[in-house]
Structure 1
Amino acid sequence: MSQQPPSRSSASPPKRPDASMSLLTNVMDHSLDDGYAEAAARRRADGQGGLPRTLRAKLGLAAGLVLAAVVVTVGAAQARISAPTLAKEREQLIDRIQRETSAADKLKSSVDALRDSVGATQRDALKQHGGDKAELVSLLAGGTAVHGPGVKLVVDDAKEADQGGGGPRESNGFSDTGRVRDRDMQRVVNGLWQSGAEAIAVNGQRLTALSAIRAAGDAILVDNKPLVPPYTVLAVGDGKRLRGRFQDSADGAYLHVLQKDYGVRATLSAEDEVRLPAAPSLIVRTAQPQAGGADKSGADTGKGTS
């Protein structure tokens, strides 16, 4: 009996249950596009992996803001701690300035009082030992206050100078600024002396035989005291006669030229009475015994203002 050889057919592998859903399976297995995966792989290979650039920038900015906030907070805390100390030091400095200012004011008052006392003593000595001309010497030296008829002369800068004409008041050189200079005031005062004035004061500053009129920049100085325009010159004497003689003098003509050509303002009037204070200090140049045993003190009484 012939035997039939056994069958050699191989069994096929069982099918996947989701074989009929190949599209869905492919989407699940490859949820990230291959292009993105390749780009990520390239960045990792180039050492650029990690957080995205925009995220890194935002994190850096946030870190900077946090650091700035910390610095500001620390600075505010330090300022708050040091504020009481600074306030205390400021108060101490203010107190010290006030004390020194008060002390300086007291010293100034003391100096003024001593100066007045010395001036009064000098005037009394001049009256007692000046001989028969004591009153005249005292008058010429400015040692006593005087009053009587006289003239009032007011000199002021030109109107254009009031609007910023500027320029120094020294007599060196000349420029048409319309400003009254020290030389102008010298000529005015000397003209009044020559016209017969017995006593003169400028802005309340009594002139003596030793007075000087100078300038320092923008100010005219009378015996080193600055004056501001307008300059009011009071002179004791025969008012009408004094006014006429001054107007007819060379110095009066000089003042008229200043008015006409340079706009300097000036008014001259005769007064029934003017009052002049005594000079703040009295300087005695010479002292010698008088014949008969009495002392005679004299002051340099040459008129004229330099």
Structure 2
Amino acid sequence: MLYSRTGGGIVKVTGVDAHASADGRRARHAPDASMDLLKQIIEQPVDPDYAAVAARQPDRRKRDTNRSRLAFAVIIVVIGVLFTVAALQTTRSRPAAAKERDQLVARIKSAQTSRDAMRQQADSLAAENARLRSNGLGDDAEDQQLRQQLAGLESVTGAGAVTGPGLKIVVDDGTGAAGDNQVLDVDLQVLVNGLWQAGAEAIQINGQRLTALSAIREAGQAITVNYRSLTGPYEVDAIGDPDTLQARLLETSAGPWWNSLKDEQGMRYDVSTSSELHLAAVPGLTVRSGRTR
């Protein structure tokens, strides 16, 4: 027996009516009617419009892939054409470049040959001048004094070769980073000026005799002395009293300068004494003399 609440109170419902009411509720909530939506969602999870668009995606991707491949192929062809043109230009210009190089090498060799010939001529003229001067001087005391004076001037100026004891100094680049520990022209200038101040009588660098007309300069990657390019190691020979020359060199600015380069930059700076050094004369350099009556 069931009871139902109405506006006037509680009314008793008979069993037949209760069963009918329950059957009506079950009819309204039938399983088949409530599962249609879920069944449709399960069977068709994607909206038909989205499905149509998704079906067209592979075709679009295929077209994009084909376009990318075509663009890549065009780029490869263009790069290949550029390399081919560059190779052809290089091949065509190679004979002209080789010809210019050969001409430049020939000009350099010709200039070197002319320079050597002029140097030999200068040496020959200097020897002839010395012979004539010696023959022109007599054997009297005045001529002997003049001859000694000329010999001394030749030694000082570089017009004559000199031999004697002195210092042998070897300097060279360090072993660190390139450019930070290389011997510069100013380093050699400081060393040479220090040797002059210390009392050196004659100096040469790698066989190049220094005179009042000499210049120590940097030209490109090389150091030039008397307009001749030199490479390291640089050997500086200085004639003078070995005992006093080395001690006085330390008192000049050259001593601390090169000791600092050796300690801080790792550059080579070796000083040794020699009982006999030979410094050649400067080719073509002569000392003119005159006599007053």
Same structural fold, with TM-score higher than 0.5 when normalized by the shorter chain: yes
What CA distance in whole angstroms lies between the structure 1 residues aligned with 2:77 and 2:247?
A: 81
Question: Which letter does structure 2 place at the counterpart of 1:195?
Answer: A
SS of equivalent to 2:241: helix
TM-score where L is the length of structure 2: 0.56
Q: 2:196 aligns with which of 190, 201, 205?
A: 190
The 3 A distance-change label for structure 1 pair 259 and 140 is closer
Shift of 1:283: 6.3
Shift of 1:114: 1.0
SS of equivalent to 1:195: coil
Q: 2:206 aligns with which of 199, 203, 207?
A: 203
For residues 200-239 of structure 1, the aligned pairs below 5 Å read 200-214=203-217, 221-225=224-228, 227=230, 230-235=233-238, 237=239
Q: Which residue does the alignment assign to 1:243?
A: 242
For residues 57-206 of structure 1, the aligned pairs below 5 Å read 57-77=57-77, 84-130=84-130, 131-132=133-134, 142=158, 146=161, 148-156=163-171, 162-164=175-177, 166=180, 181-191=187-197, 194-197=199-202, 200-206=203-209
SS of equivalent to 2:214: coil
SS of equivalent to 1:163: coil
Q: Alignment length, in residue pairs? A: 227
- Unaligned ranges ≥5, structure 1: 1-32, 172-179, 292-306
Question: Which letter does structure 2 place at the counterpart of 1:129?
Answer: N
Q: Is the 1:153–1:269 contact (alpha carbons within 8 Å) kept by the matching residues of 2?
A: yes
Shift of 1:85: 4.2
Percent of paired sites with the same residue: 17
Shift of 1:66: 0.9
The 3 A distance-change label for structure 1 pair 112 and 253 is same
1:154-204 CA distances to partner (integer Å, 9 max, x unpaired)?
A: 24379xx64359389789xxxxxxxx7244223244247x4333xx32123
Shift of 1:221: 4.5
Question: Which letter does structure 2 place at the counterpart of 1:166?
Answer: D
Q: Is the 2:158–2:281 contact (alpha carbons within 8 Å) kept by the matching residues of 1?
A: yes
What CA distance in whole angstroms lies between the structure 2 residues aligned with 1:83 and 1:258?
A: 54
TM-score where L is the length of structure 1: 0.54
Q: Is the 2:163–2:278 contact (alpha carbons within 8 Å) kept by the matching residues of 1?
A: yes
The 3 A distance-change label for structure 1 pair 210 and 246 is same
Shift of 1:86: 3.4
The 3 A distance-change label for structure 1 pair 224 and 252 is farther
Shift of 1:121: 1.7
For residues 4-19 of structure 1, the aligned pairs below 5 Å read none
1:118-175 CA distances to partner (integer Å, 9 max, x unpaired)?
A: 222222223323523687777666567x5744434224379xx64359389789xxxx
Shift of 1:109: 1.1
Q: Is the 1:169–1:219 contact (alpha carbons within 8 Å) kept by the matching residues of 2?
A: no
Query: What do you get for the CA RMSD once the two structures are aligned?
Result: 4.6
SS of equivalent to 2:95: helix
What CA distance in whole angstroms lies between the structure 2 residues aligned with 1:201 and 1:66?
A: 77
What CA distance in whole angstroms lies between the structure 2 residues aligned with 1:224 and 1:54?
A: 83
Q: Which residue does the alignment assign to 1:18?
A: none
For residues 263-302 of structure 1, the aligned pairs below 5 Å read 263=262, 265-272=269-276, 274-276=277-279, 279=282, 282=284
Q: Is the 2:168–2:273 contact (alpha carbons within 8 Å) kept by the matching residues of 1?
A: yes
1:19-38 CA distances to partner (integer Å, 9 max, x unpaired)?
A: xxxxxxxxxxxxxx6997xx
SS of equivalent to 1:268: strand
What CA distance in whole angstroms lies between the structure 1 residues aligned with 2:122 and 2:274?
A: 33
- Unaligned ranges ≥5, structure 2: 1-39, 135-146, 264-268
Q: Is the 2:170–2:233 contact (alpha carbons within 8 Å) kept by the matching residues of 1?
A: yes
Which structure is higher in helix share? 2
Q: Is the 1:141–1:208 contact (alpha carbons within 8 Å) kept by the matching residues of 2?
A: yes
